[in-house]
Structure 1
Amino acid sequence: MTTDTSSPTILLIPGHWLGAWAWDEVLENLTSSGHRAVPLTLPGLDETDAGRVTRTLADQATAIERAATGSSGPVVVVAHSGANAPVSLVLDRHPELFSRVIWVDSGPAAPGVAFAPDFPEDVDGLELPPFEMLGEQASIEGLSADALERFRERAVSEPGTVLRQVVQLTNDARFDVPTTFACCSMPSALIQDLVKAGHPMFAEVAKLKSVNYIDLPTGHWPMWSRPADLAHIIASESSSD
Structure 2
Amino acid sequence: MHIILIPGLWLDASSWGEVTPALETGGHRTHPLTMPGVGVSGAESAAIGIAEWVAAAVAEIDRLDGPVVLVGHSGGGNVAYGALDARPDRVQRIVFLDTFPPGEGGSISEFPVVDGVVPFPGWDFFDESDVADLDPQTRTDAQSRARSVPERVPTDPIRLTDERRRAVPATIITGTVSAAQIREIIEKAPPWAAELAALEQLDIVELGSEGDATGHWPQFSRPGAVAEAILATIG
Question: What is the TM-score of this pair, normalised by structure 2?
Answer: 0.90
* Pairs within 5 Å for 1:1-241: 8-47=1-40, 51-116=44-109, 123-135=115-127, 139-217=130-208, 218-239=214-235
Measured in 1, the distance between the counterparts of 2:220 and 2:80 equals 21
Deviation at 1:48, TM superposition (A): 9.4
Give identity over the alignment, percent.
30
Measured in 2, the distance between the counterparts of 1:116 and 1:139 equals 15
Measured in 1, the distance between the counterparts of 2:47 and 2:8 equals 18
Residue 196 of structure 1 aligns with an amino acid whose one-letter code is E
Q: Which stretch of structure 1 is more off in the superposition, 107-116 or 147-156?
A: 107-116
Deviation at 1:25, TM superposition (A): 0.4
SS at match of 1:15: coil
Distance 1:149 1:119, change over 3 A: closer
Deviation at 1:44, TM superposition (A): 2.0
Contact 2:42 2:116 in 1 (8 A): no
Distance 1:49 1:39, change over 3 A: farther
SS at match of 1:54: coil
Measured in 2, the distance between the counterparts of 1:93 and 1:237 equals 22
SS at match of 1:164: coil
Residue 180 of structure 1 aligns with an amino acid whose one-letter code is T
SS at match of 1:42: coil
Measured in 2, the distance between the counterparts of 1:220 and 1:117 equals 17
Count of aligned pairs between the two proteins: 230
RMSD value, Cα: 2.2
Measured in 1, the distance between the counterparts of 2:89 and 2:115 equals 37
Question: What is the TM-score of this pair, normalised by structure 1?
Answer: 0.88
Distance 1:126 1:48, change over 3 A: closer
Deviation at 1:119, TM superposition (A): 6.8
Contact 1:44 1:54 in 2 (8 A): no
Measured in 1, the distance between the counterparts of 2:115 and 2:203 equals 39
